[in-house]
Amino acid sequence: MKISIIGTGYVGLTTGACLAERGHAVLCVDQDREKIALLRRGKMPIFEPGLESLVKGNVRAGRLSFGTSNKDAVAHGKVIFMCVATPPRPDGSADLSAIEAVARDIAGHLKEFRLVAEKSTVPVATGSRVKDVISKYRPQHVDFEVASNPEFLREGCAIEDTMNPDRIVIGVESKRAETILREVYKPFKAPVLVTDIMSAELIKHASNAFLAMKISFANAVGQICELAGANVVEVTRGVGMDRRIGPGFLNAGIGYGGSCFPKDVAAFEAISRELGYDFSLLREVQRVNEKARDLFVKKVERELWIVKDKTIAALGLSFKANTDDIRESVAIKIIRMLVEKGAKVRAYDPQALAKARASMNTIAYCRSPYEAARGADAALVLTDWEEFRALDFGRLKKVMAHPTILDGRNLLDPGKMRELGFTYRSIGRP
């Protein structure tokens, strides 16, 4: 099927490449000409494992192409996926101006029937707004439909999540729209859940809010473990073995970041309030999340007493492993808090150095973890890169001024670290 994607960011590019891989003819467009020029040269604007070869392979096979014109997108795809950003406004609610602008643009270019599907995470009832806008601005004789088809991909394993999703959610108003989207996802082996549009929109917000809640719950339990002297890794393992709860997203640490959870929890809270329900639980999820990073900074202060003028090695800048994305990265937030207190931070990250350098010039950037640790009074593990688990700790110890590690991700083995002669602190572990 001919499919168009408007918005070639994380979601749009991954979705486009995966749909092409499954045999569809996909046109990805974006208003960012530089990004499209880069993609046309076979270069990726983001680091995502497996993405480059998938994109290149499908471009070569003639199934994937790139452009900058919404008009071309409307002409090409029977289905048009909207994958534009829905960033937070100061009050936490989602800024839907890009969605509205794209909807208006699609309407202006409509010549024959199109199914316009929201893939971006949007508050409930956005679909009906999109429908109103297209209805108003289209040539009145042209038919169209709106659908919701939220994505659930995680950065760092976006291809795997898109190719083998737990479920495909299709929110539609008619059998015709359902049939088209079922056709799109026919080559994927996953259960398909068909709902109305608003329920599909809510599934996305509720899923992300629930996952964020799991993380905050684990972080709160981590604090209890610390106070009582228990081990949060064992506690959450035991809790997660209950099939009703599940083992995922129970890792205590410095809190969640990234482009989705902070934004989606805030937007879900805001739309709930707007609808007349005070979802105070979500505010508590946010509060616990922010507290996790404050408590970690306090831990650093407990260890170093005075942070001012101390050299601190930051291992990790991205918001999680296997990505160069630093949006809402808790690692960066913690580094900023320490810099504010006068610390001299030397940072290393396997992928995010360039992006961090462009957004923060108050720290030193290093090409290896050992360079970052040179002369350090403490090293902080801030991102869960596998690389940090396999460090040459003898070498690390030698270059540090004091062999102290504060592990914000519970990545390392406390017993082993102590055996190696490190003062080692982690989250919720004795």
Which sequence positions are flagged as catalytic? Answer: 260
Among the listed residues 249, 279, 370, 393, the single contact to ligand UDX using CB under 6 A: 249
Cβ count near 149 (within 10 Å): 24
Residue type, position 25, single letter: A
**Smallest distance, Å, CB 323 to ligand UDX?**
7
Query: Measured from the CB atom, is 261 or 422 closer to ligand UDX?
Result: 261
**Smallest distance, Å, CB 322 to ligand UDX?**
9
- Residue 136's alpha-carbon distances to 69, 105, 117, in angstroms, are 21, 12, 18
Residue type, position 420, single letter: L
**Smallest distance, Å, CB 203 to ligand UDX?**
11
Nearest residue to ligand UDX, by Cβ distance, number only: 260
Stretch that binds ligand UDX, among 109-117, 149-157, 294-302, 339-347 (CB under 6 A): 149-157
C-alpha 261/C-alpha 214 separation (Å) is 12
C-alpha 151/C-alpha 120 separation (Å) is 7
The reply to whether 257 sits near ligand UDX by the rule CB under 6 A is: yes
Q: Are 55 and 17 in contact (CB under 8 A)?
A: yes
Tokens of 194: 């068909």
**Smallest distance, Å, CB 331 to ligand UDX?**
9
The reply to whether 316 sits near ligand UDX by the rule CB under 6 A is: no
Among the listed residues 66, 144, 268, 319, the single contact to ligand UDX using CB under 6 A: 319
C-alpha 320/C-alpha 414 separation (Å) is 21
Query: Measured from the CB atom, is 59 or 157 closer to ligand UDX?
Result: 157
The reply to whether 153 sits near ligand UDX by the rule CB under 6 A is: yes
The reply to whether 388 sits near ligand UDX by the rule CB under 6 A is: no
The reply to whether 93 sits near ligand UDX by the rule CB under 6 A is: no
CA 161 to mean position of chain CA atoms: 12
Q: Are 289 and 217 in contact (CB under 8 A)?
A: no
**Smallest distance, Å, CB 319 to ligand UDX?**
5
The reply to whether 385 sits near ligand UDX by the rule CB under 6 A is: no
Positions in 258-277 near ligand UDX (CB under 6 A): 258, 260-261
Positions in 201-230 near ligand UDX (CB under 6 A): 208, 211, 215
The reply to whether 320 sits near ligand UDX by the rule CB under 6 A is: yes
Binding site for ligand UDX (CB under 6 A): 151-155, 208, 211, 215, 249-251, 253, 256-258, 260-261, 319-320
